[in-house]
Structures are given as structure tokens and as C-alpha cells.
Structure 1
Amino acid sequence: MSLAAPSDVAGMRFTLERIACANEPVTPFTQSVDKPLEDIRLPGGIPGFEDAPLDGASEHVFADMFLAAAPGCYRVTTQPLTAQGTASLDCAPAIAPRVQINEGVTTEQILINQCKAEGNGAIDVVSALNHPPTLVKLEFAKSKFVLQCQVQEVCATVKDPENDPLTIVWSKVSGPPLLSGPATTRVQTEPDGSVTKCVAMAAETPGQYGLSVTAYDMLHDPASGGLVRIEDYLAQQGNPQPSHTQLTFPFYVADDGKGGECNSRSCLELKQKDPSLPSGRYTVDPDKEGPIAPFEVYCEMEKDGGGWTLALVSSDDGQNTWTWDHRTLLTTDQTLVGSLDERNKDFKSRALYTVPFQSLLFVHAPSGVWASYSGISNGTLDAASFMNSRSAPVCDLSLAGNGYPQTAGTLTLGGTMCDTDLYFNLGDFDGGSIVPYCQDTSLYHNSTYGPGWSVNMGQGCPFDDPSYASLGPDVSPDAVSHEIAAAGFGLARGLNTGAPGTGSNYIQMYVR
């Protein structure tokens, strides 16, 4: 049977069931008859069937049953059948719940069995043109020629014809190993929509160096929700085509005639050699020819004259690093913590116990509030040794307001802070004057270890629960193995506006 619309129906089962017309008694009666489908279609041009109810121009496959029956009321059911005589999965049964048969008259009833159909979707194909980015400008900060140990900074400006997001990648492709870099120093979107990215590097060995800058246009990947290179997206679609611009170029390093290695002892020495150096990653060698191998540090070159070496980061990153149980990580335990690649998370650099210092700088995020303190040490001790030389806890109320005064920065008095002075290893007074209580670390209180500030956490100034304005360690019995996520003065000043536990709230400590 060829149907106008495909289905699994080959026949129809008609079932007649006697029911009461009113409240009269009835004799149960049921009869079923299976019938094949008719060869013609309804209405089939037959008068009386057209437009009653099927449209005269329509063509419906059907089956028909004619059956003599006693007068009365009946329920009539039709069940579409497959060629095997089973109930159709494509077309539904139909029912006439009450059909009355009268003596000497044929009652004609039309039922409609509704069938399923696979609906169509649609495709809307949009095909957009894309062009790779264009390198607008390449510029050396000073010259293509530098002396060994000098920082070479170069900037590339790239524009995309369709204003797609851009990513710019720098790499060294030839020449001797670089002493440092290339490290990003600046990324800026220009008024015309182009993007400028600058990198800095330094070379110890004279020679010719080859650099490559590559710019890729980007799009939003529906799968990951992030940005991906358009050429990678095309490759994933099976249409690999390049979409980037690339330039390889040389710069030259000349012998400075001084001999020896380039590494400076600290970021301060680097700044003194070249005041134009930007903030970034550099290699230092605190003891020069001594046993300490050169290592990479992050240098803050702008705030309060620059020359600051990152030594420590205390972060609300969900890690319990700076705890009372492990407080010697700040002093005698030289275990390194974290990575320079994640300076928003708990971190300790070799600089903490190798770079002699006089001053400290604290920079809070996400607020950007900072404070520096000069004249803390005489420049012969490293920060770890300095903190280890101080007693703990310090329980001296006369110290209030007589800590190390802030000498520069944007930190101001407010929140729960009693003053902006810097203190070390503060004991907890809870607003009282009981020195034995403060000194007894077996009691329940919130003494701290390392750098901190004087705060009032409900029991009055000074030194009430100082661990809530410190870099982490807390002597409280329920917190000796957990950090207080204060981020230095961040909690006390209400500056910790980032999502808790994600590394959004942190404070960095620099030495100089």
C-alpha cells in the first residue's frame, strides 16, 4: 500500500460495544472486525463526503466497516493496525463514545485517527568574511642596539579590520639565551581600536637576537564560552586557514666592556642602573659570586620611587598557608610557596631570606590601596631574619601609635583600624591591660605573627584581635591550622570586595 504520508498502518480494527442510551438495562455485546484499507481516498469526489467534514480537495487513506446491529446506543472505537495485526505506533485510536442505532435506519459515523509526522527543522546559514589582523607599527623604546645587561623594550601595535578581539604573542626565535624576558610591560587599546603590547627583555651575551611578534584575531567559542583564535576555530570546523599576522625582526646587543654578569642584587639595584625600567619579572643575584644561585623575582618599579622586590603574598585563595602552626615559613623555614605566575595567591620568594632590606611596601588587591614604611631595618638583614629576631607575642600597650609610621601610600585611617602604623608579632589585649593574658598563647585569643596593624574588633583599641589585620597567622585554638583571610589591612578597611576563597583579595609584601 502506498500512502500519501508514510505510516505503519495497513488496516483498521473496528470495535462496537453496547452501552445504555439512558438508564435502561442492556445486554452486554461487543464485536470487533478487522478491515483492510480502501484503494480510494476520501472524499474521493463522492457527493455527500466532500467538505463534510473533510475538504473536497483532500485525500485521506481510510477503511470502512458496515455492520448490522440491534437498535440502541454503542461506543465505537477504531484502532489502526500494522500489516502484522498489531496496534500502530504511528496513528492513534479514535472513539465515538455514544452512537445511537435506530430500527430500519443506517447510522453513518466518520472517525479520524490522528497520525504522527516527523516535523522539519530549518537551517539558516550565515557566511561571514574574516581578515587577519594587520601590524600597524613596531617601535623600539630606545634603539634596536643596546649594551649587554640593558633592558630592551619594544612595542607592537596591531589592528583588526573587523575589530575582532586580539591576542599578541612575543617569542625569541634566534640568538643566545636571554637573561630575562620577553615579559609584558604594557597592553593598551588605542582610540582607533588598535592594540599596543610592549615587552621588555635583557641579554647578557653580545650578539644578534631574533624576535617574533604574532597577532591573532579571536572569537567567542560557544563550547567553552571563552575566547579562541579564529584560525583554531576554523581548524576545529574542518576548514583550516591561517588568520594571523607575524613579523620576525632582529635587535643587537653590544659588549659593554665591563665584563662580569648582568644580574643585580635586587630590584633596587636594577632601578638604580636604569630608572626607566618598567615593573615586571627580572633575575637577581643577591650574593653575586656567593652560593645563592640567581633567581627570578617580580619588581615593582613605580610606587614610592620603585625598586621593590616582591617577597610575600598573603591571599584569600582557600589555601591554609600562613597559619600559626606553620608561622616559621615567615622566618626560619625556607620552603618556597606558590609561583610567580600566580601572584594573587599565597607566595613566598627566596627574596624574603636573601635580599637585605630597609623598607617594606604593602599593596592590596583588588582595591589597589598601598602603604610603604621606611627605616624598618638597617639594610643588613633580610626580612625573614629581621622578623625572627623579634620576640612573639609583643605585649606592650605603650607601643600603640609608636609602630613603624607609614611614609607613603594611599592607605588611610578608617574601618576598624586604630592607626596606620606597621607592627610585628602583636599579642592580643582585647581592650584590657592584662599583660599575662596577652603573653599566654595557650589562652583563647587572636595574637598574630609577622607584619600586622592595630585594630579594634569589638573590645577597643589598641591591639584587639590583631590577627584580623595581619598576613595570616592566628594563635586562636580553633584557627592555628587555618588562615585568617584578612589580606593585611584589607579586612579592617573593608577593602576585600572580591569573591571569598578565589584569590581575589590579597596583599603583597615587597622589600627594598
Structure 2
Amino acid sequence: MPETQELCYDGPPSTASAGACKTGIRTCNDEGTGYGPCEGQVQPADELCDTPVDESCDGRVNEGCVYPSCASVPAGSPSGVYLADPGAAGATEPAAIYCDMEVDGGGWTLLYSSIGSDEGTTMAFWDIPYLQRFSSKGEPSVDTNVYVGWLYLHGTEYRDEVEDSEGKVAQLFHARTTGVAPDTLRFKDPEIVSGDSDIYNAQFAAGWSSPDFDADTWTENCSAKYSRVTQHYGGCWVYNLGSDADSPVDDDGWGPHLHAPAARRLGLAADESGYTRVRRISRWVRW
């Protein structure tokens, strides 16, 4: 019938109304014999790396784009996995990283995340030898155990956060540094921006140890004492990625623990032990 209109779309049906794609309208001609062109429709196109839009309409933003860091991902992009040019540790191709694009202006890269597990597998993940300090372990996700050591060679801004047993997330501290000493992983000129100074001093501003290397500030090797967990240590810790400080320190291999008084200070749930289990501890880096 002349002037009758209907919705139309010439792209793959699965992409209609997804991402940047949208349906159009076509109008029946004056003779009532057929419809004219589909006007106003947007079909899938190649991804543009400087926009936060899913131009290909496949549910993934900026796929195939390679960025120097998460801070270079376009503002407004969703948090998730992106490709970065690692430029470190002998890597020869882009590496997948997880970007937080929401907290404190976004642009944060996930350096590590320790996830508590009733399967008892988390503690062993953090047994990282000295020669593997710039290596990567696990897949980039805030919900799985992951360690991306080469990011230490780039970071100038850090924040640590914890998720308690009830799912509440709190920032432990926000810090800045001018770099890191590659041989010891000690931060250069560290300073706290905000957060808990006790945790900052114990887990950032002091030393670093692995089971076979001692650069923490305690008289003994904190990593060797606490279940071979590699991380930054003071003397020895307020949080640990894989060990408990209550006996037995392995705690059935659960993983991340936080000093219970610190948890309560942050308004987080704590059990009756001195070092409470938490669901997750993560470190983010930006540059």
C-alpha cells in the first residue's frame, strides 16, 4: 500500500540493534508495488580504535586494537580484556591485559588478582621464583588468579583493593612511584596518595621477596616463612596473596588473607581469626 512503512535491516540478523548497528525504515512506493531503500540503518563496520563504540556489532569493543596501556583505551569503553604492546620482558607480540575503565577515571591495568578457593589451589599459584618475576601467569580476569609481572616495569601509579567474604570491595591504598628497581622490585620514590598507611607501608613501600630471593625488610625471608608466596613484604605482612599467618599457615590452600583488625578498620567482614580469609585481593597499575 502506498506510503506504508516498515522496519528493515540488511545486515546479519544477529547484529541488528547491537553495538552501533540499528534498523532503518523503508517506505512503499506511490504505486504500491514495492518498497524503497532501507533508510537510516547502520550495518557492521570495521572497529575504530579511538572510540568506545562497538562498530562491528559483535558484542566486543575495539577488538584487534593494540594500545600502549589501559590509559590509552578510549574513555567510556567498558572494563574488560584489551590488547597492549608489552614492550618488556622479551615479549614479541601484543599481550592481553584486563582494563578497569571505571574506578578513579579508569585506565587501570590488572597486575595481579588472588582469588580464594575452597579447592585449595590458590596458595601454590603464588610460588613464583625470582627469575620469573616479570613473567605472566593465568588469564587476565579480575575473577581468576592472574599475575602480570612485566607491568612493574611500566607502572607509576598503583592501587590495591580487597573483596571480603560478603562481596564488599574496599580500596586498600593508592600510591605513586617513579619506577621500580628491576633487580629487587623495590619501588623508587614511593608515596601514598590515599588509603591505609599501615597496609601501604607493609605491602608497597618496603621490600619484595620470592622463595629464592630475600629483599623484604624483615631479618628473615617473609616468602620462605609464609608458604613460598611471592609478593611485596614489609615485616612481614598485613595482607598475603596465598598464606595465613594463623597456624596452620597454609589454611587448606585457601589463598588471600587480610589482618583482621585492618579488615574491621575498613568496614569489611572478618572471621574470628587474627588473619581473616577474603574473597579477593587485587593490584592495579596505571601509567
Query: What TM-score do you get using the length of structure 1 for normalisation?
Result: 0.35
One-letter amino acid of the counterpart of residue 281, structure 2: I
- Show structure 2 runs of 5+ residues with no match: 1-13, 23-41, 210-216, 272-276
Which digits, 9 at most, give the CA deviation of each residue in 1:11-57, with x for residues without a partner? xxxxxxxxxxxxxxxxxxxxxxxxxxxxxxxxxxxxxxxxxxxxxxx
* Aligned mate of 1:472, from 242, 245, 249: 242
**Contact 2:116–2:278 under 8 Å retained in 1:** yes
Seen in structure 2, the aligned counterparts of structure 1 residues 147 and 298 have a Cα distance that, compared at 3 Å, is closer
One-letter amino acid of the counterpart of residue 374, structure 1: A
Alignment of structure 1 residues 209-248 onto 2, 5 Å: none
**Contact 1:264–1:286 under 8 Å retained in 2:** no
Aligned counterpart, 1:113: none
Separation (CA, whole Å) in 1 of partners of 2:251 and 2:270: 25
Tell which structure's C-alpha radius of gyration is larger. Answer: 1
**Contact 1:424–1:449 under 8 Å retained in 2:** no
Separation (CA, whole Å) in 2 of partners of 1:506 and 1:346: 9
Aligned counterpart, 1:149: 49
Per the TM alignment, residue 153 of structure 1 is displaced from its structure 2 partner at its CA by: 3.0
* Aligned mate of 2:146, from 332, 342, 347: 347
Say which SS state the counterpart of residue 357 (structure 1) adopts. Answer: coil
* Aligned mate of 1:425, from 180, 187, 207: 207
Aligned counterpart, 2:284: 510
Q: Quick check: which one's helix share is greater?
A: 2
Give the structure, 1 or 2, with the largest relative contact order (CA under 8 Å, sep 6 or more). Answer: 2
Seen in structure 2, the aligned counterparts of structure 1 residues 327 and 487 have a Cα distance that, compared at 3 Å, is same
Alignment of structure 1 residues 223-302 onto 2, 5 Å: 262-270=65-73, 274-287=74-87, 291-302=91-102
Separation (CA, whole Å) in 1 of partners of 2:96 and 2:116: 24
Per the TM alignment, residue 506 of structure 1 is displaced from its structure 2 partner at its CA by: 0.7
Aligned counterpart, 2:219: 439
Separation (CA, whole Å) in 2 of partners of 1:202 and 1:476: 46
Aligned counterpart, 2:193: 407
Which digits, 9 at most, give the CA deviation of each residue in 1:219-260, with x for residues without a partner? xxxxxxxxxxxxxxxxxxxxxxxxxxxxxxxxxxxxxxxxxx
1:328 and 2:108 correspond: no
- Show structure 1 runs of 5+ residues with no match: 1-134, 156-169, 173-181, 184-200, 205-261, 392-402, 428-436, 455-462
Say which SS state the counterpart of residue 139 (structure 2) adopts. Answer: coil
Per the TM alignment, residue 468 of structure 1 is displaced from its structure 2 partner at its CA by: 4.7
* Aligned mate of 2:112, from 283, 308, 312: 312
Say which SS state the counterpart of residue 138 (structure 1) adopts. Answer: coil
Per the TM alignment, residue 404 of structure 1 is displaced from its structure 2 partner at its CA by: 4.9
Seen in structure 2, the aligned counterparts of structure 1 residues 389 and 284 have a Cα distance that, compared at 3 Å, is closer
One-letter amino acid of the counterpart of residue 425, structure 1: G
Say which SS state the counterpart of residue 345 (structure 1) adopts. Answer: coil
**Contact 1:297–1:340 under 8 Å retained in 2:** yes
**Contact 1:445–1:476 under 8 Å retained in 2:** no
Query: For this pair of structures, how many residues does the alignment match?
Result: 224
Separation (CA, whole Å) in 2 of partners of 1:505 and 1:300: 19
Per the TM alignment, residue 275 of structure 1 is displaced from its structure 2 partner at its CA by: 2.1
1:492 and 2:256 correspond: no
**Contact 1:449–1:473 under 8 Å retained in 2:** no
When the two chains are superposed, the root-mean-square deviation of aligned CA atoms in Å is 4.8
Per the TM alignment, residue 496 of structure 1 is displaced from its structure 2 partner at its CA by: 5.4
Which digits, 9 at most, give the CA deviation of each residue in 1:279-302, with x for residues without a partner? 1111111229x8521121110112
* Aligned mate of 1:364, from 162, 187, 190: 162
One-letter amino acid of the counterpart of residue 369, structure 1: A
Per the TM alignment, residue 510 of structure 1 is displaced from its structure 2 partner at its CA by: 1.3
Seen in structure 2, the aligned counterparts of structure 1 residues 367 and 423 have a Cα distance that, compared at 3 Å, is farther
One-letter amino acid of the counterpart of residue 359, structure 1: E
Separation (CA, whole Å) in 2 of partners of 1:267 and 1:148: 16
**Contact 1:469–1:488 under 8 Å retained in 2:** yes
**Contact 2:243–2:255 under 8 Å retained in 1:** no
**Contact 1:468–1:484 under 8 Å retained in 2:** no
Say which SS state the counterpart of residue 153 (structure 1) adopts. Answer: coil
Per the TM alignment, residue 374 of structure 1 is displaced from its structure 2 partner at its CA by: 3.1
Separation (CA, whole Å) in 2 of partners of 1:322 and 1:424: 23
* Aligned mate of 1:373, from 174, 189, 192: 174
Seen in structure 2, the aligned counterparts of structure 1 residues 426 and 492 have a Cα distance that, compared at 3 Å, is farther
Per the TM alignment, residue 356 of structure 1 is displaced from its structure 2 partner at its CA by: 0.5
Seen in structure 2, the aligned counterparts of structure 1 residues 484 and 314 have a Cα distance that, compared at 3 Å, is same
One-letter amino acid of the counterpart of residue 101, structure 2: M
Separation (CA, whole Å) in 2 of partners of 1:491 and 1:337: 31
